[in-house]
Amino acid sequence: MSTDEVNPVSPSAAVDTIAAISTPPGRGGIGIVRISGPLAPEIAARLVSLHLPMEHARARLADVLDSSGPGAQRIDEALVTYFAAPNSYTGEELVEIAAHGSPVVLDLLLRRTVELGARLADPGEFTQRAFFAGKLDLTQAEAVRDLIDAQTLTQARQAASQMGGALSRRVNPIKHDLLELIALLEAGIDFAEDDIDVAHRDEIARRIGKLIPLLVELEASFARGRVVHDGLTLAIVGRPNTGKSSLFNRLVERDRAIVAATPGTTRDLVTERISLDGIPLELVDTAGLREAFEEVEQLGIARSREALADAALVLVVLDATAPLNAEERSLLAAIKGRPALIAINKSDLKYGLENFVLGANRAGREVGVDRETGLDLAAEASGIHAINTSALTGEGIAALRQGILTLATGGAAAEPGLLTSLRHHQAITGARAALNDAAEANLNSVPHEMILLDLYRSLGSLDALTGQTTTDDVLNLIFSTFCIGK
């Protein structure tokens, strides 16, 4: 279609009207073209043949024509929904055209939209406009992306909570109290001629002391928020034939890794991503750790050691029917202090963990695991929780899942308004550090002008989460709190 077939609207009015396909690329049942800006209603009215005039928040049936000239033919049917400014996602005039998800139809609609005076939207521009219109703060805008990228229900819930302003509701009271303290000190400095008392050192200390614990609590929430947002990697390690691949298959709930009685079956890393109570978890099944002479197995073991070093969590699989060897003792010593679990596998054949102390199987026959070895295990794995499991019968698998979940989350329960990104965490850390500096300066009777520098630095860090605080905000609070110039 040539551009001569469509007459663009007035160029002066077409500024800032944007358009984009808002559904994923490819074929689908429905595809949506979104138009935002002052010309959105006018462009939409010329883009399709409406059965009824557009009305705010009402869907209208329309015909999609293959051209705008004489003899145009109907190629699709669409629903057109108009949202009047400021009651729209972007705060502007906004129209959504929901046609069938044919790439040909959507491309036609988008091209004609541009020919009528809109321009193609930049990535994220609709949400950016929502932010500038005051519809969302920065944390809510980021949550839109997180919701789109969510791979588990827990991630979606967390993103929806952030979109609803959960984090902002935790931060805003802190910002408000910080602003009040700033206003108090500014008033004492700038309006001293009005006989406003300068804040006493104890009052400043009290106010700062009230804010720091709130920031510390918020900062600590990053441990769980990061796990929910990004997930973790769990490396399953141990010597050959302990049942690592069988436990891996139990955790992923399908036969993903090859299992055989021959030791050393796994030669390379096998990975699978699962959701454990909504926590994204990447499981890595590794080659058995032992001295190897075959080149392929040596390469597999080298990769296993790399996976062990890189993983956030470690699951060491031990064989309940065999004593510890030197490789296992070295492995247990190496993971001390790291988030780790021990699975005493094949517990259906023996008493499992108890046998490392008792040294006998159910038939009472000695198997070379004596009490001294059991004490070695207790010493080597000090502080690492051990769970009896049987990949064959499923015994202990539920407890193993719960143990991994507790390890991943640190045992913390879900809470609203978690910090979910490193940017959030750095902002809160910066705000807390600045307040600590202000508290120390106040303790040392540093002039209020210098204390204010730290307070403004703290406020700037919080602004990185929720949006910029202007000088007018401080002045308005000063004048509303104190009867200056009365």
Superfamily of domain 166-221+418-481: tRNA modification GTPase MnmE domain 2 (1.20.120.430)
Asked if the model's pLDDT at residue 415 lies above 70, the reply is: no
pLDDT at 428: 95
Count the neighbouring beta carbons within 10 Å of the beta carbon of residue 338: 12
Higher confidence at residue 178 or residue 65? 178
Structure tokens at 113: 């939209």
Higher confidence at residue 468 or residue 14? 468
Domain assignments of the chain as residue spans, ordered by start: 3-132, 166-221+418-481, 230-409
**295 pLDDT band (50/70/90 cuts)?**
low
The mean pLDDT value for 265-274 works out to 69
CB distance 342 to 335 below 8 Å: no
pLDDT at 486: 37
Name the β-bridge partners of 19: 35, 120
Query: Looking at this protein, which amino acid is placed at residue 466?
Result: T
**Whole-model pTM over 0.85:** no
The mean pLDDT value for 191-207 works out to 76
Asked if the model's pLDDT at residue 375 lies above 50, the reply is: no
CATH architecture of residue range(s) 230-409: 3-Layer(aba) Sandwich (3.40)
Average pLDDT, the chain: 79
The mean pLDDT value for 227-238 works out to 84
Alpha helices in 254-413 (DSSP H): 295-310, 326-334, 355-358, 371-380, 397-409
pLDDT at 289: 64
131-138 long-range contacts, CB within 8 A, separation 24+: 131/467, 132/91, 133/86, 133/90, 133/91, 133/92, 134/91, 135/89, 135/90, 135/91, 136/163, 137/165, 137/168, 137/465, 137/466, 137/467, 138/464, 138/465, 138/466, 138/467
Asked if the model's pLDDT at residue 148 lies above 90, the reply is: no
pLDDT at 43: 94
Residues 50-86: tens digit of each pLDDT: 999 999 999 999 999 887 777 788 999 999 999 999 9
**What CA–CA distance (Å, rounded) separates 357 from 354?**
6
Residues 73-131: tens digit of each pLDDT: 899 999 999 999 999 999 999 999 999 999 999 999 999 999 999 999 988 889 888 88
CATH architecture of residue range(s) 3-132: 2-Layer Sandwich (3.30)
